[in-house]
Structure 1
Amino acid sequence: MHARTFAPILAATFAAGLVTAGQAHAAPTDADAPALAERVVMYDASASAEFRTAVDRGAAVWNESVDSVELRPAAAGQRANIRILADNGWPRALTTSLGNGTVYIGRQAVSQGYDTVRISAHELGHILGLPDRKPGPCTSLMSGSSAGVSCTNPYPDAAERAEVEDNFGLGPAHSAAVPGKVVVD
């Protein structure tokens, strides 16, 4: 279970614990409280063509897997951090900074039999600061195509989840995303 679920419980528990062993303690100020709110990253999948459902599912996988960042579809006219496009090439991501960039869901990999939800989650992983980890097993989302066409696992493993939590919990200075870097899978 993730911190989003526990935040209200933690707040109540913390507030109840202000008086301990007969001693009164001052309530913490907002500056003293840890940042429990996740960073929201907006994505625009309006140009993802036939991959729109797979993109939304890939974003949902990340939302189910980590607490420090939430991927949300941008409303029409709303500024998006991530643009997602369909094209005829190989899937790839162009990062501009942590949580920002362009993802291409390439039809070439899909025509070879790779799973569209895994592709989407993998490419979003690059935008969230993760590098490729090839070769690798199907249990590693960032192993990408090296896991083979039979691999349909769209979920990041524990190390990948922890890295994204660290990237967004500690800020862009800890990110593996390199501005202007194209990651071709």
Structure 2
Amino acid sequence: MERDVPALTSERASNYAWLAWTAALAAALSGQEALAPTFFSYTERFSTGLVTGHEERPADPGAVLDSMALYPLYRIYSLIRLGRLSGFPGLIFPDASSDETVWVQTDIHGLIETAERCLAIGRREGRKGFASEKGLPPLLRALVAVLEGRGAVEVARKALVTYERSIRGMSDFRHIYPVVLDLKAAFPTVFTA
């Protein structure tokens, strides 16, 4: 990945988001605490269509909002893991009755709403949602509420259990279980009794 990043273009950055996110989870779960934040940082940038993080906006906003909300969810998860809940720009839907997006200063709540909106657009277009994507926004919303001091730990724990129980096959297991393990390790005061 580090070899490819210098030649990476903004149009292709989102193609690396899944790889960076997988690497971040693998680093975190294998105890490589110094490496995991680097990959979460890559994931956050790539899932937004940014290569260096210093670009003013993504070159192709449409490439980072997909009907399964993968890129917004990768970004949200990475920002939470990096401890950044506000003070960043993002591509959001400012009007609930429109599919038009804008690039503005936002917070984690704006990004979660965007992910949920992407999933709703996907359903409207007849696309099947997967448990790993559909179940993540409620879990992340509950975790953020606890991190901001306005939510109950029990609600976040219940959301994690619900997310883990949505595993129905190997594909679900491959996508959901690493997230469950990572959240338990990263936020032990929230997710362990």
Structure richer in strand, relative to its length: 1
Structure richer in helix, relative to its length: 2
TM-score (normalizing by structure 1): 0.24
TM-score (normalizing by structure 2): 0.23
The structure, 1 or 2, with the larger RCO (C-alpha pairs under 8 Å, 6+ apart) is 1
Larger Rg: 1
